[in-house]
Amino acid sequence: MISKTDKVNSIIVLYQEDYKVKINKFIASNNFTIVNSDVTKKLQRDVTNTVKECQQIIHKYGRWKYVNLNATSPTIRGLLKVHKEDAPFRPILNWNNAAAYKLDKMLVRKIRAHIPLPYTFNAENTVQLMNDLTDLPYDRNIKFSSLDINIMYSNIPIKEMITILEKLCEMNNIENKTKQDILKMTQIKVDQNYFRFQNTIYVQNEGLTMGAPTSSIFSEIYLQVLENTKIAELLLKLKVEGYFRYVDDIFIM
């Protein structure tokens, strides 16, 4: 088979059996549960009922826009990280035809409109990052640390993320009915955390759904709150103690 690679502008030719082995290894090493039947129809009914209930955000004449009438279970595929040793597997879920896909895309727009994020520690692009690094006084003892999150979406704690989302709605003075609609749609989305591989249905028991539109913004919300609380407090402590000298403009939520 021929496949694209992850983060490298190239393609790779590999045996299908080797590809299946990598996917099965990924499934076996993560917290997935096999279910005996496809739950798509039930989840589709849940989406339909949620669309009817969220009257503050969704107008009754526009409900049909957010229901995927021909929904199918999301499927998993993978891109190989050929730039890393042993070419590990990066999972990608095709969520385009999932029951909650249209509703999820709309929820992204609503969250961005109602909950602006500070982006205190974010770099807009590589140029800004290089300029910021260049502005630091040179010191031979300075060390640059790069941290990564392994399979980020599935490691975001759902209950804590929803609690943070509710708190941010209140901080931004969002009307109560609108807040309840946002939380209700969020819960429906995180409940639809499953995928199909080789005619077998797997349920992801923890974390955000891989491939869903809201998973990116939910991860950003959780990480920014973490950065502006725990990490910011740690950096300030390190600066006071003389271990970290260049910490400015920290915003505590």
Give the pLDDT score at 252. 40
Give the pLDDT score at 245. 54
Classify residue 138 by its DSSP letter.
P
Helix (H) or strand (E) holding 80: strand 75-80
Q: Quick one: which of 250, 18, 216 has its CA closest to 111?
A: 216
Determine, yes or no, domain membership for 246: no
Q: Is the confidence at residue 210, as pLDDT, over 80?
A: yes
Percent with pLDDT over 70 in the chain? 94
Determine, yes or no, domain membership for 250: no
Determine, yes or no, domain membership for 45: yes
Q: Which domain holds residue 6?
A: 2-240
Residues 6+ apart with CB under 8 A from 243: none
Q: Is the confidence at residue 250, as pLDDT, over 50?
A: no
**Environment class of 121 (CB within 10 Å of its CB; exposed 0-12, middle 13-18, buried 19+):** middle
pLDDT digits (tens, 9 = 90+) for 148-171: 777 788 889 999 999 999 999 999
Domain count for the chain: 1
Q: Is the confidence at residue 198, as pLDDT, over 60?
A: yes
Q: Does the pTM of the predicted model rise above 0.85?
A: no
Taking all residues of the chain, what is their mean pLDDT, rounded to a whole number?
A: 86
Determine, yes or no, domain membership for 249: no
pLDDT digits (tens, 9 = 90+) for 2-60: 988 887 788 889 999 999 988 888 888 887 899 988 889 999 999 999 999 999 999 88
Angstrom distance (rounded) from CA 123 to CA 90: 24
Angstrom distance (rounded) from CA 223 to CA 235: 15
Determine, yes or no, domain membership for 245: no
Determine, yes or no, domain membership for 201: yes
Percent with pLDDT over 90 in the chain? 45
